[in-house]
């Protein structure tokens, strides 16, 4: 498979610092690849350099084998559909007019049928003659996606396509993106919605402070960074003590929801968690097997995980100073 | 260029510019009908001139500033990454729009001014109106290019319009009052070109016209405007 996108030691520096720092990464044809990272990780900047909207400080990128500014880049970029930081729409024009402007930009003749097909695909055929300024954010994103698909692009680059959408809108956009490989379109999608990336992508690259910190298939990333484990709930006042107790028997834990702990490590069954806790006088309120996911992997691979580790490493007092809590715990 | 023309025809600003220009021509014709054209032909000169100057500035600033206001420049540049070509296409469409606006205003004014002045001693000849239209057609090239350049430079339609209007109607006009330097201001050379086209008699002027110098100075001014804004556009990252 040939690489449609390459980043080669790409660095983009602003006066405030490096937005992208020595990024090297390739995307082969036919993949749906996620570009992950917290806000400010450099995802959008990397995409802007790739598309020729910003100049690299050093390093290079290629899009369909051509670098920005090189002869043939215009032809290459016209085979790429883009949706960068929200849909770029002329809000006083109708959905159809926006599509026509795109068709004209691509030099497409007799684009009417194509426009109808795409509006149908994104569920906006009935609103084709409505000015898109009156659209909801979800409808605008769907129209942006339809525009990005004009001209049957080989590659679609989507930057935060689900930004600002409600859960229903997120599912709609995800389902649309999932259909793209069926049309022979390779997809590079950046997002910080990890569950969505996990559902729609074959592969992901994780950026943090402009650097690539992990790159692989979704299952590799999950297996490498997001091990299966258990979700444990104990008396909230004893969470830190529980984490320290589990740490002593070789289990990692990070604070989870509602005073719980997410425990990972070599765990045969739940007894390996409940027993050391009971021996330490901490009684388990709930013990639920947890499935490994991209979110866990991401947290482990980024600062969030570092912060969580710090919580785990903090010293805890062995005995509660509160006699009432102690009594409750004993019960 | 086709997509730029599509924007010109489907988006509202150019339509409203046409409406406002036509309305101004109609008002001018009404004034002529009531009060006559006057010996200095002020209603004729103002009726076609001023609205199409302003309209040309608006169209120029609109087509370059539009993409920044709508945040669509990234979309435009991912369809045509050659920024010089984007500027060329936009400028060509703006010039076509400015020319179309002036031709429309003139076409409406020719019969209307003749009719409106028919009840008065001083008649407005169709040929005079045509001459004024042609003079403005040439002059408006400068207004379109200036509006376009300032819109591109400020990355804002409103910013471009404001700077262009301030430049033409305040700064440039005031500087023409300075001896020698004033002769090289854009307003002064534009007026010379206009007078050369319409003839001094129609504009009640006896000033000497050096057309070659006026054209050369105008081209220089416009080259500076376009050059600076293009440089900024080509060298800057797009959000």
A278-293 residue pLDDT tens: 988 988 888 887 766 7
Q: What is the CATH number of the domain that holds A253?
A: 3.30.70.980
Show the domain range for A32: 3-79+153-219
Lowest mean pLDDT, pick from A115-129, B54-68, B192-206: B192-206
- Looking at the structure, tell me whether residues A163 and A282 fall in a common domain: no
Query: Distance between CA atoms of A216 and A223, rounded to whole angstroms?
Result: 11
For residues B63 and B94, the answer to whether their CB atoms sit within 8 Å is yes
User: Considering A170, A196, A219, which residue would you say is the last residue of a domain?
Assistant: A219
Band the pLDDT of B152: cuts 50, 70, 90: very high
* Nearest chain A CA: its distance from B48 CA (Å): 29
- Looking at the structure, tell me whether residues A8 and A66 fall in a common domain: yes
User: Considering A195, A219, A243, which residue would you say is the last residue of a domain?
Assistant: A219
Lowest mean pLDDT, pick from A56-70, A307-321, B76-90: A307-321
- Looking at the structure, tell me whether residues A157 and A272 fall in a common domain: no
pLDDT at residue A311 in the model: 45
What is the side-by-side strand order in the sheet with A80-83? A80-83, A155-159, A186-191, A32-36, A203-208, A211-217
pLDDT at residue A168 in the model: 79
For chain B, the straight-line distance linking the first and the last C-alpha, in angstroms and rounded, comes to: 22
* Nearest chain B CA: its distance from A238 CA (Å): 49
Does pLDDT of A326 surpass 60? Answer: no
Residue A86 lies in a domain: no
- Ramachandran quadrant class, B183 (left: phi over 0; alpha: psi -120 to 50; beta: rest): alpha
Residue A46 lies in a domain: yes
Does pLDDT of B206 surpass 80? Answer: no
Instruction: Tell me which residue in B6, B80, B238 faces A53 most closely, judged by beta carbons.
Output: B238
Structure tokens at A65: 């084998």
Residue A306 lies in a domain: no
Does pLDDT of A268 surpass 80? Answer: no
User: Considering A193, A219, A245, which residue would you say is the last residue of a domain?
Assistant: A219
Restricting to B residues 76-95, those with a Cβ less than 8 Å away from any Cβ of A are 76-82
Bridge-based pairing of strands A186-191 and A32-36 is: parallel
Q: DSSP of A270-312, one letter per residue? A: THHHHHHHHHTT---SEEEEE---HHHHHHHHSHHHHHHHHHH
pLDDT at residue A224 in the model: 63
* Mean pLDDT score across all residues of chain A: 81
pLDDT digits 0-9 by tens, B18-49:
999 999 999 999 988 998 877 777 788 888 88
B186-190: long-range contacts (C-beta < 8 A, 24 or more apart)?
A: B186/B142, B186/B146, B186/B217, B186/B218, B186/B221, B189/B213, B189/B214, B189/B215, B189/B217, B189/B218, B189/B221, B190/B139, B190/B142, B190/B214, B190/B218
Query: Distance between CA atoms of B41 and B26, rounded to whole angstroms?
Result: 16
- Ramachandran quadrant class, B161 (left: phi over 0; alpha: psi -120 to 50; beta: rest): alpha
Q: Which of the residues A16, A88, A149 would you substitute to probe the B interface, choosing the one with the greatest number of B C-beta atoms within 10 Å?
A: A88
* Nearest chain A CA: its distance from B5 CA (Å): 9
User: 3-class DSSP state for residue B86?
Assistant: helix
The fraction of chain A above a pLDDT of 70, given in percent, is 86
pLDDT at residue B203 in the model: 64
Chain B hits for A102, Cβ within 8 Å: 3, 75, 79
Which of B187 and A295 is assigned the larger pLDDT? B187
- Looking at the structure, tell me whether residues A160 and A271 fall in a common domain: no
* A10-30 average pLDDT score: 89
Q: Residue A81 pairs with which residues in a beta bridge?
A: A156
- Looking at the structure, tell me whether residues A184 and A62 fall in a common domain: yes
* Nearest chain B CA: its distance from A225 CA (Å): 34
Closest to A112 (Cα-Cα) out of A122, A125, A123: A125
pLDDT at residue B5 in the model: 92
* Nearest chain B CA: its distance from A232 CA (Å): 45
Which of A98 and A169 is assigned the larger pLDDT? A98
Determine the residue of chain B that is closest to A80 in CA distance.
B78
pLDDT at residue A312 in the model: 44
Residue A34 lies in a domain: yes
- Looking at the structure, tell me whether residues A67 and A181 fall in a common domain: yes
Structure tokens at A297: 């992997």
Instruction: Tell me which residue in B11, B74, B82 faces A90 most closely, judged by beta carbons.
Output: B11
B31-37: long-range contacts (C-beta < 8 A, 24 or more apart)?
A: B32/B113, B32/B116, B32/B117, B32/B120, B32/B124, B33/B115, B33/B116, B33/B117, B33/B119, B36/B117, B36/B120, B36/B121, B36/B122, B37/B113, B37/B117, B37/B120, B37/B122, B37/B123, B37/B124
Query: Number of structural domains, chain A?
Result: 2
Q: What share of chain B is helix, strand, coil (3-state, %, to 5)?
A: 80, 0, 20
pLDDT at residue A228 in the model: 61
**Residue environment code for A62-97, b if the CB has 16+ CB neighbours within 10 A, otherwise e:** bbbebbbeeeebeebbbebbbbbebbbbbbebbbbb
Q: Which class for A125: exposed (0-12), middle (13-18), buried (19 or more C-beta within 10 A)? A: middle
Chain A residues with CB under 8 Å of a chain B CB are 48, 51-55, 68, 73-74, 77-78, 80, 82, 84-86, 88-94, 97, 100-102, 104-107, 147
- Partner-chain contact B79 A73, CB within 8 Å: no
Most confident segment among A214-223, A224-233, B175-184: B175-184
- Partner-chain contact B7 A101, CB within 8 Å: yes
- Looking at the structure, tell me whether residues A284 and A164 fall in a common domain: no
Determine the residue of chain B that is closest to A86 in CA distance.
B71
pLDDT at residue A329 in the model: 45
Does pLDDT of A307 surpass 70? Answer: no
pLDDT at residue A322 in the model: 45
Residue A196 lies in a domain: yes
Per-residue DSSP letter, B170: I
B9 touches chain A (CB under 8 A): no
pLDDT digits 0-9 by tens, B120-136:
888 888 988 999 999 99
Q: What is the CATH number of the domain that holds A74?
A: 3.40.50.300
pLDDT digits 0-9 by tens, B187-200:
889 888 988 888 76
- Looking at the structure, tell me whether residues A187 and A274 fall in a common domain: no
Lowest mean pLDDT, pick from A47-51, A114-118, B89-93, B201-205: B201-205
Does pLDDT of B8 surpass 60? Answer: yes
Instruction: Tell me which residue in A78, A88, A104 faces B75 most closely, judged by beta carbons.
Output: A88
* Mean pLDDT score across all residues of chain B: 90
- Looking at the structure, tell me whether residues A243 and A157 fall in a common domain: no
Does pLDDT of A227 surpass 70? Answer: no
User: 3-class DSSP state for residue A205?
Assistant: strand
For residues B67 and B213, the answer to whether their CB atoms sit within 8 Å is no
- Partner-chain contact A54 B3, CB within 8 Å: no
Closest to A170 (Cα-Cα) out of A187, A154, A146, A194: A194
Residue A141 lies in a domain: no
Q: B91 phi and psi, to 5 degrees?
A: -65, -40
B212 touches chain A (CB under 8 A): no
Which of B178 and B20 is assigned the larger pLDDT? B20
Does pLDDT of B54 surpass 70? Answer: yes
Q: A186 phi and psi, to 5 degrees?
A: -85, 145
Residue A110 lies in a domain: no
Q: Which class for B45: exposed (0-12), middle (13-18), buried (19 or more C-beta within 10 A)? A: buried
CA atoms within 13 A on the CB side of B62: 23
The fraction of chain A above a pLDDT of 90, given in percent, is 21
Lowest mean pLDDT, pick from A89-103, A176-190, A230-244, A248-262: A248-262
Instruction: Tell me which residue in B72, B81, B237 faces A88 most closely, judged by beta carbons.
Output: B72
- Partner-chain contact B78 A55, CB within 8 Å: no
Structure tokens at A125: 């055929």
Query: Distance between CA atoms of A23 and A46, rounded to whole angstroms?
Result: 8
Instruction: Tell me which residue in A51, A93, A100 faces B78 most closely, judged by beta carbons.
Output: A51
- Partner-chain contact B72 A90, CB within 8 Å: yes
Element (H, E) at B218: helix B211-235
Residue A312 lies in a domain: no
* Nearest chain A CA: its distance from B65 CA (Å): 13
């Amino acid at each position: 498979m040939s690489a449609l996108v390459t980043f080669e030691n790409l660095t983009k520096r602003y006066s405030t610092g490096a937005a992208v720092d020595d990024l090297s990464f390739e995307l082969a044809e036919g993949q749906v690849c996620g570009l992950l990272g917290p806000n400010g990780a450099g995802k959008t900047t990397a995409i802007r350099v790739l598309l020729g909207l910003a100049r690299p400080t050093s390093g290079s990128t290629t899009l369909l084998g051509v670098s920005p500014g090189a002869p043939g880049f215009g032809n290459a970029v016209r085979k790429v559909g883009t949706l960068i930081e929200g849909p770029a729409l002329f809000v006083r024009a109708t959905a159809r007019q926006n599509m026509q402007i795109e068709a004209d930009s691509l030099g497409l003749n007799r684009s009417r049928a194509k426009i109808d097909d795409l509006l149908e695909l994104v569920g906006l055929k009935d609103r084709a003659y409505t000015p898109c300024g009156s659209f909801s954010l979800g409808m605008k994103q769907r129209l942006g996606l339809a525009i990005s698909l004009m001209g049957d692009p080989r590659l679609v680059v989507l930057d935060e396509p689900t930004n600002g959408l409600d859960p229903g809108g997120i599912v709609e956009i995800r389902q649309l993106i999932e259909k793209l490989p069926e049309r022979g379109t390779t997809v590079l999608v950046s997002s910080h919605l990890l569950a969505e990336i996990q559902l729609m992508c074959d592969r992901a690259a994780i950026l943090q402070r402009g650097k690539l910190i992990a790159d692989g298939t979704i299952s590799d990333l999950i297996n490498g960074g997001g091990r299966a484990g258990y979700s444990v709930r104990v008396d909230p006042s004893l969470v830190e003590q529980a984490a320290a107790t589990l740490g002593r028997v070789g289990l990692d834990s990070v604070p989870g929801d509602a005073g719980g702990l997410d425990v990972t490590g070599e765990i045969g069954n739940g007894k390996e968690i409940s027993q050391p806790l009971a021996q330490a006088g901490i009684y388990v309120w709930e013990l639920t097997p947890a499935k490994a996911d991209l979110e866990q992997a991401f947290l482990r691979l980024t600062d969030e995980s570092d912060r969580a580790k710090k919580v785990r490493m903090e010293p805890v007092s062995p005995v509660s100073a509160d006699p009432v809590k102690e009594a409750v715990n004993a019960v | 260029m086709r997509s730029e023309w599509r924007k010109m025809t489907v988006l509202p600003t150019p339509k409203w510019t046409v409406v406002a220009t036509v309305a101004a021509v109609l008002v001018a014709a009404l004034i002529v009908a009531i009060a006559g054209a006057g010996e200095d032909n002020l209603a004729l000169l103002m009726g076609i001139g001023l609205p199409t100057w302003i309209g040309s500035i608006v169209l120029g600033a609109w087509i370059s500033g539009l993409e920044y206001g709508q945040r669509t420049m990234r979309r435009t540049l991912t369809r045509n990454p050659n920024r010089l070509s984007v500027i060329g296409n936009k400028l060509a469409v703006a010039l076509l729009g400015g020319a179309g606006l002036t031709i429309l205003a003139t076409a409406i004014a020719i019969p209307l001014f003749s009719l409106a002045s028919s009840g008065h001693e001083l008649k407005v000849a169709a040929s005079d109106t045509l001459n004024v239209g042609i003079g403005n057609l040439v002059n408006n090239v400068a207004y379109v290019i200036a509006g376009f350049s300032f819109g591109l430079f400020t990355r804002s339609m409103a910013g471009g319009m404001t700077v262009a209007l301030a430049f033409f109607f305040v700064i440039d006009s005031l500087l023409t009052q300075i001896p020698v330097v004033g002769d090289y201001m854009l307003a002064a050379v534009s007026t010379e070109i206009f007078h050369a086209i319409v003839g001094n008699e129609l504009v009640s002027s006896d000033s000497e016209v050096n057309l070659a110098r006026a054209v050369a100075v105008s081209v220089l001014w416009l080259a500076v405007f376009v050059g600076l804004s293009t440089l900024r556009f080509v060298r800057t990252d797009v959000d």
